[in-house]
Each structure stands twice: as structure tokens, then as C-alpha cells.
Amino acid sequence: MHKLSPRAAITAATITLLLIGTSACAGDKSDPGNSSSPNGSPVKGGRLSIAFTSDSGCIDPPQTGFIEDRIIIRQIADTLTDQDPETLEIVPYLAESWEVNDTATEYTFRLKSGVTFSDGSALDAAAVKATFDGILELGPLATGAGRLITGLESTEVVDPQTVVLRFSVPNAAFLQATTNASLAILSPDSWDKAPEDRCVGDYIGSGPYTLNEYTPNESASVDRRSGYGWATSVAENQGEVYLDGIDFSFIAEPSVQVGSVTSGQLDIAWPRAALSEDNQGLIQAAGGHTLSREMPGVSETQIPNTTDGHVLSDLYARQALVKGIDFSGIAKAEYWEGYPVPTGIVAETTPGWVDQSEAYAYDPEGAKQLLEDNGWELDADGYYAKAGKRFTIRWLVFTNVSSESTAALVQDQLKDVGIEVEIVPLTAQDGAAVLEAGDYDIGNIASTRADADILRQIFDLTTVADSSAAKKSQDPQTAAKLSELFALQLTQVDPTQRLQTIAEIQELLVDQVVAFPLNARIQVFGLAERVNDVKITAENLTLTNDAWLSK
């Protein structure tokens, strides 16, 4: 036995940390978040307990877009299609096949036969029609589903297994929308219930589990449905699930989630933000493992206010700003060594993602040069100024979603290139008014969807709300060009053509610095030792069809 020298100990510790870091964030497209472990083959039985950060208080599919609500919905109701988390392709679920017409205005789905709701009634074309009619009838209350069914006009039953959905305007993004739990198919009777009753789970689905209990903001539990046999193609297990049931709870504090896992009170800590390196270490020390994947869609994206009179209305100023930010420095300081840096305007897990890493290379000298070439001069305090006006930006930080410490880091980095940052911490409720009034230079938005149409929902100025952070992000020319491209991609049924347009959109957004991501949104979950084969879906929901518990 020999003693480790302090130096060797530090080296060993660093290597261990690096290993933990890399293993925890190996959750790119290449890793679908498969937690298969060497614990043998699946056995039936046991209840899985899982804690989320929070729910919205409503689990009626069309009325919620909350990820955590959708996870619960996904267990008790099925969707027409699903999305492969690796290839990001749309695969069969309730529908075994589908056709889209040339103008993306007509979707025909052929349903699997023999599918029933948990009350025994048949899931047929009439049930699909009842669902989409019910969503249209909900009107503005369908906040989760509404944004997915843009242009939906009517649903027609062709025969018991065939249903056609017609749109008044092209909607090429609709196929991916049918993977979304907000468009889960419910029994026709469910749509006779009052919307507020469906919110607390008073509806019938066809999912692998049935709802046992739902207490908004506290807990939910689901039990295995016997005879289930129409699982998503994403799951290996096509039949009944292995678990007896799942108990969900909502615990806001990540350290309490982790402590509950390490003390054996909880199986899975599933917080919204990545578990910290320390918390990952605790999970691993207790014999557990972590699971991770980058959230698809638009990460915590910073959106400059480019309206007249604001310093960032100048494209060179925006470019200098981005050059002056050290993204890998942020990843290292806010997360851990090896945490991925943003690679583009959308996350890598979004179909059609274009690698734009080059645009986010740290180049402080380039930033200064760019400003000096364009008439900016350093003032007495070391900040750039032009025509007597200092390069000062008001940076909004929504404290419910972003961290002030990240903003402080950016403030330090930009100070080095002569840009002054004034951090304005805001709560969500104050945010809308500030964004609408326009008294800011940087706002932000995060939104999850595994389809690039999410960019249209955020950046198409012809539709976004006045209180949206993107409302002031584009000059008229850019806005018109983007709008045109957004409309175009919705007409393109051919995936290659559509992805081409989507690539153009991403280029334009980056070239014009309409927005830039501050960090990648990697989720890291902590699982107890006995949990096997829990997977992450394409939109980072929990897939439990294959999950089982070691005895």
C-alpha cells in the first residue's frame, strides 16, 4: 500500500470529474438516452417513483404544453405517430401509415386495428375525429394543441380505420405535431366533459397505463393497463408494460429530489435543468446512474432588440457582441468541464439542425476590430462609444428560467471587449410588460419542439405576440424574408426541400444575429440503481414502455 501524493490525488480527482462530466453529457444525437444496464432481462412488477420540478396543474392534453404534464399524459394516452429519438424520423404509433398530399393540406392516417380505450370502447377513425373536433371546439383554451394544428379545418371519417384531416393553409409541420402528447387521442365521451374536469384527469385514453390519481401540483399515479398491445414503434416492448405502475411527484428543489433518490425514497430525479455535477456524483455514489439528452428546439436564446435608437440595431454591434462572448467559458463555469457549447440557433436534437458552431467562436480581438472599423472609439472608462453614446446594453434575465450568474459572467467577458452590460433581473410576470414596452436590449426565449417549425412560432413577426421577446428582433427586410421562408417550409412536403428551407432560415437568423443561444439545454436525470431501460423521447419526455425494476 502506498500513499497518494497530493499532486497525484488532484490529478486523479480531476480525471474522475472529467469522466463524470463526459459520461453525463454524452447525450447528443448519438445517444438516445438509453439507460440499458447489465442487470439481465426485464422482470414484471414494482412501482416506479419519479419526481418532476412542477406541473401546470392541468393534464388535459390540448390545454397544456408543459413538458411534465405531457409526460403524464403520454403514459395514459397514445398519439397518432411518434418520433425516433435517434433518427428524429416520424414512426408509427396509433397510425400504422399515413399520406400527405402535395400541398400539405390533407393528412390521411390509417389506424392500427383492435386498439381500445381503457373503458373498452374502440379507438377508431370516429374517435380521432372526436379528438380533433374537440380541440377545435376548445378554441383559445387549447393552448398546448392550438399552436400545433395551425390551419386545421375539418376531420373526416373515411372508414373505421381511415381518417383524413384537412387544412385551410399548408402545414407541413403537422406530421411531427401528431407525435405531441398535446394531440393525444381521447375517447369520444371524454370530449363531453367540461374542460376544467378534463384538466384534473377526467378523461379516457388508450395508453399503456390508466390514471389512478392526479392531485395538481402534488402527485399523480398511473397503473398498468392489462391487454395493452399497440405501443409506439420507439419502444422495444410492444405489449403490456413491466411496471405495475408509476407514482409521480412534483419537487421543485433538485437537492431534495437527489436526496430522495440516494435515500431510497425515490427512483428517478427528473428536474428541468441539468443535475449539477455534485448531485450527479451523489447519485453515482449511491449506485445509481444518470441519463441525459439535449432538449430539442430553441435553447435559452438571447434576442437583441434591433428597433431604432437601440445600439443593437447596428448589425456590426450585434456581431461584435457575439464575438465577445466566451461560450465555452460559460459552459465550464456554469455547468462543468466538457459541458457542450451551443452549436446553432436550434439544438442538435432538432431535425434539420445546421452546425453553426463557427458563428459562436470566441474572438475578443475580432470584436474590438469590428467596432473600431465601424467608427467606435474607446472612452475614458474603457468602453466603446460612438457619436457620444456608449455601447451599453440592458440585458433582461428572467429569474425563473435563466441564471443571473450566467449574465454576470457575460458582463465580465464583454467588459473586456469594451461593451457595458447592465443586468436587469425580472420575474416572468414583469417580463411581458418590459418586452412590450421595449426598454431593453437583450431579451430571451426558450421553447421545446423536435421540429424546426418552432422557429416560425418564435420568430415569424406576422404572428408573434407584442409581448414576445422576438417582436423587436428584426428589421423589416429580414422580417419579410424570414416570414416568406417560414411560410414556404410549411408548404414543403418533400423532407429534403423542407430541410433546405429550414437551413436557410437558420443561416439568416445567425447572419443577421436575430438571436443567439447562451448555452445548450442538456437535461441530466438521476436514476436509482434498481431502475432499468427508462428512455427519453424525441421531445425529452419519459418513455417507460421498456422500463423495469431489478428485484
Binding site for other proteins (CB under 8 A): 51, 53-54, 56-58, 63, 65-68, 139-141, 143-144, 146-147, 195-196, 199-200, 215-219, 249-253, 255-256, 259-260, 262-265, 272-273, 398, 400-401, 427-433, 445-448, 454, 457-458, 463-468
Return the C-alpha cell found at 180: 405531441
Return the C-alpha cell found at 487: 411560410
List, in sequence order, every beta strand (DSSP E) within 285-416.
289-294, 298-304, 377-378, 384-386, 389-390, 392-398
CB environment 391-428: b (16+ within 10 A), e (fewer): bebbbbbbeeebeeebbebbbebbeebbbbbebbebee
CA atoms of 210 and 339, how far apart (whole Å): 38
Please give the single-letter amino acid code of residue 85: P
Nearer CB in complex with other proteins: 116/279: 279
- Cβ-contact 501, 492 below 8 angstroms: yes
Cell 407525435, located at residue:
179
Cα angle, residue 445 at apex, residues 291 and 302 outer, rounded to 5°: 100
- Closest distance of CB 216 from other proteins, Å: 6
- Closest distance of CB 220 from other proteins, Å: 12
- Closest distance of CB 398 from other proteins, Å: 6
Nearer CB in complex with other proteins: 70/224: 70
Nearer CB in complex with other proteins: 457/489: 457
CA atoms of 92 and 84, how far apart (whole Å): 10
CA atoms of 507 and 535, how far apart (whole Å): 32
Nearer CB in complex with other proteins: 242/395: 395
Nearer CB in complex with other proteins: 161/276: 276
- Cβ-contact 211, 120 below 8 angstroms: no
Q: Is 448 helix (H, G, I), strand (E, B) or coil?
A: coil
- Closest distance of CB 305 from other proteins, Å: 16
Q: Is 8 helix (H, G, I), strand (E, B) or coil?
A: helix
Nearer CB in complex with other proteins: 63/478: 63
- Closest distance of CB 97 from other proteins, Å: 31
CA atoms of 256 and 38, how far apart (whole Å): 28
- Closest distance of CB 347 from other proteins, Å: 13
Q: Kindly give the interhelix angle for 404-416 and 327-334, rounded to the nearest 10 degrees.
A: 140
Please give the single-letter amino acid code of residue 200: V
Nearer CB in complex with other proteins: 217/238: 217
- Closest distance of CB 448 from other proteins, Å: 5
Nearer CB in complex with other proteins: 98/214: 214
Of 447, 449, 474, 450, which Cα lies nearest the Cα of 458?
447
Contacts of residue 314, defined as CB under 8 A and 6 or more positions apart, other chains included, come to 374
Nearer CB in complex with other proteins: 315/432: 432
- Closest distance of CB 472 from other proteins, Å: 14
- Closest distance of CB 70 from other proteins, Å: 10
Nearer CB in complex with other proteins: 120/139: 139
- Closest distance of CB 264 from other proteins, Å: 7
- Rg from Cα positions in the chain: 24
Q: Is 210 helix (H, G, I), strand (E, B) or coil?
A: strand
